[in-house]
């Protein structure tokens, strides 16, 4: 839900002139009854206006406005709900109370007939329906996010072997803020964002360290990719794309479709199919903590996207979540 400032158009003013006429009666030379006034006085008080209970001089211009404003049950905005958008993702999940069941702890997809993300009572992220942020002069209120916090070890997992088994490349696009609503733990050096559930076969893990994204594979140790930059200091969402492939993997980070940073990293030359058993917000390395983030939207594409295709998806998502255009 977005609240948009309204700039009025042409303003018209109306000037009203008022005047008073007084007739001067003729002098009374012979009052009846022989009564003569000893003294008389007349006082005319200048016009005034009341302000805060006190009379004040009449201003040079009076402006009178008649209006009726009612906000109950109405929303001023020009953004659709995330559930109204269909992207090109083969599988997509949105933070919404109709899709995240806080009892069964399942996150059901809005696109694609695939298994839901699963969590446990000790690792469940928290659904917030009153998330707020500002982009430019536009304020977004009552947005919904799944909040992951490293202090409570929040993460989810999914087995997509039946849908993606044998894949040699795929793309993940997230809309997220790399910050927990409960605050980030500054003592954590490495937060796992996306990884495999084990270290067998060919796999890729993405972690966040020093406000930058790192890639680790079974063949190549951690390499620094793109940085989140100012996204680490705001509640506004960031658009993130992970184009996972061999021999290289490319990362994209953006505040919108017109400001996209990217970096390609060597990922190894393994011919094996890539692992499609994923952890969201966690990884198999013991020295990595779970991720601190507020997650709006998650899409998985069955092939590596080109830069133009990534920008197209960012543009589509930004019509919902805002950002530069």
Instruction: Kindly list the domain boundaries of the chain, sorted by start residue.
Output: 90-168+177-237+272-297
Spatial distance between the Cα atoms of 275 and 169, rounded to a whole number of angstroms: 10
pLDDT at residue 74 greater than cutoff 50: no
Q: CB–CB of 213/253 below 8 Å?
A: yes
- pLDDT reading at 128 higher than 80: yes
Q: Between 72 and 105, whose confidence is greater?
A: 105
Instruction: Classify residue 142 as left (phi > 0), alpha (psi -120 to 50) or beta.
Output: left
Whether 180 and 153 have beta carbons less than 8 Å apart is answered as: no
**Residue carrying the six token digits 């000790």:** 122
pLDDT for 29: 64
Question: Tens of pLDDT along 285-307?
Answer: 888 899 999 999 999 999 999 99
Q: Inform me whether the pLDDT recorded for 53 exceeds 70.
A: yes
Instruction: Supply the pLDDT for residue 288.
Output: 87
pLDDT band per the 50, 70, 90 thresholds, residue 133: very high
User: pTM for the full model?
Assistant: 0.77
Interval 279-289 mean pLDDT: 92
pLDDT, position 75: 45
- At 58 the pLDDT is 83
Nearest alpha-carbon partner for 114 in 290, 316, 278, 324 = 278
For residues 129 and 145, give the distance between their C-alpha atoms in angstroms, rounded to a whole number: 7
H helices within the chain, ranges in order?
A: 161-164, 307-321
């Amino acid at each position: 839900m977005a609240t948009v400032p309204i700039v009025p158009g042409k303003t018209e003013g109306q000037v009203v002139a008022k005047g008073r006429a007084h007739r001067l009666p003729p002098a009374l030379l012979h009052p009846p009854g022989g009564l003569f006034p000893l003294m008389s006085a007349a006082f005319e008080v200048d016009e005034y206006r009341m302000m805060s209970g006190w009379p004040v001089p009449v201003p040079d211009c009076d402006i009178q406005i008649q209006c009726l404003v009612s906000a109950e049950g109405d929303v001023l905005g020009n953004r659709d709900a995330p559930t109204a958008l269909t992207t090109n993702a083969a599988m997509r999940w949105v933070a919404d109370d109709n899709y995240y069941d806080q009892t069964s702890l399942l996150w059901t997809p809005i696109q694609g007939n695939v298994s839901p993300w699963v969590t446990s009572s000790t690792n469940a992220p928290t659904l917030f329906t009153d998330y707020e942020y500002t982009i430019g002069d536009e304020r977004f209120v009552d947005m919904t996010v799944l909040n992951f916090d490293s202090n409570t070890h929040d993460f989810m997992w999914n087995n997509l072997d039946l849908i993606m088994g044998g894949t040699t490349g795929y793309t993940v696009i997230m809309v997220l803020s790399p910050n927990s609503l409960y605050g980030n733990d500054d003592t954590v050096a490495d937060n796992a964002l996306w990884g495999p559930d084990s270290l067998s076969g060919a796999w890729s893990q993405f972690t966040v360290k020093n406000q930058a994204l790192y890639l680790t594979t079974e063949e190549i140790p951690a390499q620094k990719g793109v940085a989140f930059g100012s996204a680490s200091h705001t509640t506004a969402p960031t658009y993130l794309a992970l184009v996972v492939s061999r021999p290289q993997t490319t990362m994209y980070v953006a505040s919108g479709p017109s400001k996209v940073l990217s970096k390609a990293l060597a990922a190894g030359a393994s011919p094996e199919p890539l692992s499609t058993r994923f952890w969201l917000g966690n990884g198999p390395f013991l020295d990595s903590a779970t991720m601190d983030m507020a997650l709006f939207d998650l899409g998985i594409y069955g092939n590596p996207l080109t830069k133009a295709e990534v920008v197209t998806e960012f543009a589509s998502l930004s019509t919902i979540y805002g950002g530069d255009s």
